[in-house]
Amino acid sequence: MEAAKLGAKAGKAKEEYTGRPGDFWRMHGWRRPLHFLHAVIYYGNTRRYVHVLTVVLTYVMKRSPIFLNNSAAYKWLLNWLPRRYHGKVLTHEHAAQILTLNQDVHVQPDQAKRVLTYDMVNQIVLKNPNSVAVGDCACRVRRENPCTPYHVCMFVGEPFATYAVQHGREKLNIHYVTQEEALAVLQQAHEAGYVHNAFFKDAAGDRLFAICNCCLCCCGGMQAQSWFRDFFQGDNPELKMLESSGYVAVHDPDKCQGCGQCVEACGFLAVKMEDGRPVVEPDRCLGCGICADKCPSGAIVLNRDYSKPEPLDLSALETI
């Protein structure tokens, strides 16, 4: 992992994190006061924030006559939202890679742009990445019958982990975990068929702050991805809530048993059965690898798709 082995410079004082608003003021300050307020609200009460936002956006995007009758307003909203908050799909290997870091990481800006093509992203930064907190999924706990397990969402690095623990211990059962414990949670989520997503947010200084383990039936990010696709009917592939992992599922018909497990496993509705055999739609596939993992005969594998953004593979990216 030589390319990503750049940590804090020698002699640099280690920042102290208190779990108080000052942690985010140091990040945003007078340059971005609204982002500071956003961070304090979001990380201070993630559960309520996600609940209120989901209710409001669901109404606006599916029921509000203002938006349903005014496609210009609808398109403005769908362009605005992913600029503020977006994710990068990770393979299981690359998610585990992040959770086993022991040094700070700052990916070269030109490479960061090839991993995440959102116009507001110009850096991939992790400070104190070995500081990890795990809590209940805010998307799932608001549902009457959520998918389980739901104690699977991770705040990675600082100041995010400390702030989340200080303010979410009671609300979302957030607590610190060791790297080994984090990997065990990741494996549990993978076996459940959840998609690993690294999330970035303007309130987080446009930085990676969490690895969420998502499903289409419960999680807002994956549902938003589906909404975008359905509204524009594939005419605007640049508009997305989630960025591809850089891989695509490839099906080998000679090995296929036609069991259909890959169709059930796909959270992006990218695999369909035709004439008793699965067909992968490359444009819909975001390369999470769940279908390949669930296939009992090894008929599906992940291949690098060079038409899509680069993987978030820290062993291959150059750092500052």
Q: What is the pLDDT of residues 227-243, one digit of tens each?
A: 777 666 555 555 688 99
Q: Which domain holds residue 285?
A: 247-304
Co-location of 59 and 186 in the same domain: yes
pLDDT band at 4 (very low <50, low <70, confident <90, very high): very low
Which structure tokens are listed for 293? 């993992």
Do 217 and 296 fall within a single domain? no
pLDDT for 193 beyond 60: yes
Three state DSSP letters for 83-122: HHEEEEEECHHHHHHHHCCCCCEEECHHHHHHHCCCCCCC
Q: Do residues 38 and 175 share a domain?
A: yes
pLDDT (tens digit per residue) in 120-132: 665 789 999 999 9
Taking each helix axis from N to C terminus, what angle separates 46-62 and 71-84, rounded to the nearest 10 degrees? 160
CA dihedral 177, 178, 179, 181 (to 10 degrees): -70
Q: For the segment 244-268, what is each residue's pLDDT rounded down to a tens digit?
A: 999 999 999 999 999 999 999 999 9
Is residue 258 located within the same domain as residue 176? Answer: no
Predicted structure pTM score: 0.89
Is 319 a member of any domain?
Answer: no
Give me the percent of the chain exceeding a pLDDT of 70: 86
Q: Do 256 and 214 belong together in one domain?
A: no
Kindly state the DSSP code that residue 309 receives in the 8-state scheme. P
Determine if the peptide bond prior to 159 is cis (ω within 30°): yes
Sheet-wide strand order for 132-135: 175-177, 132-135, 153-156, 207-214, 195-201, 85-90, 242-243
Residue 241 maps to a domain? no
Residue 295 and residue 147 in one domain: no
CB atoms within 10 A of CB 256: 18
6: pLDDT strictly greater than 50: no
Whether the Cβ atoms of residue 109 and residue 120 lie closer than 8 Å to each other:
no
**What pLDDT, in 10s, does the model give residues 281-319?**
998 999 999 999 999 999 999 999 999 999 999 988 877
> Does residue 174 sit in the same domain as residue 213?
yes
Query: Does residue 90 lie in a domain region?
Result: yes
Residue 160 is assigned to a structural domain of this protein = yes
Same domain, 153 and 296: no
* Torsion, Cα of 186, 109, 223, 171 (10° steps): 60
Do the beta carbons of residue 123 and residue 92 sit within 8 Å?
Answer: no
> Which H or E element spans position 182?
helix 179-191
Number of domains in the chain: 2
Are 129 and 220 within one domain?
Answer: yes
Average model confidence (pLDDT) across the chain: 87
CA–CA distances in Å: residue 212 to residues 71, 133, 134, 155, 237: 31, 12, 10, 8, 23
On whether both 175 and 284 belong to a single domain, the answer is: no
Q: What is the pLDDT of residues 19-51, one digit of tens each?
A: 999 999 999 999 999 999 999 999 999 999 998
Looking at the structure, tell me whether residues 149 and 262 fall in a common domain. no
314 within domain boundaries: no
User: 196 near 211, Cβ under 8 Å?
Assistant: yes
pLDDT band at 9 (very low <50, low <70, confident <90, very high): very low
Q: Which of the four pLDDT bands, split at 50, 70 and 90, describes residue 3?
A: very low
Contact 139, 186 (CB under 8 A): no
% of the chain surpassing 90 pLDDT:
64
| 57-99: pLDDT as tens digits | 777 766 666 666 666 776 777 777 777 888 999 999 999 999 9
Euclidean distance between CA atoms 23 and 160, whole angstroms:
9
Classify residue 83: in a domain, yes or no. Answer: yes
Predicted confidence at residue 150, as pLDDT, reads 95
In a domain, 45, yes or no: yes
Which range among 12-26, 157-171, 269-283 shows the weakest confidence by mean pLDDT? 12-26
Residue 279 domain-assigned? Answer: yes
Contact present, 138 and 219 (Cβ < 8 Å)? no
Single out the residue of 4, 95, 82, 21 nearest to residue 320, CA to CA: 4
- Using a 10 angstrom Cβ sphere, with 0-12 exposed, 13-18 middle and 19 or more buried, the burial of residue 65 is exposed
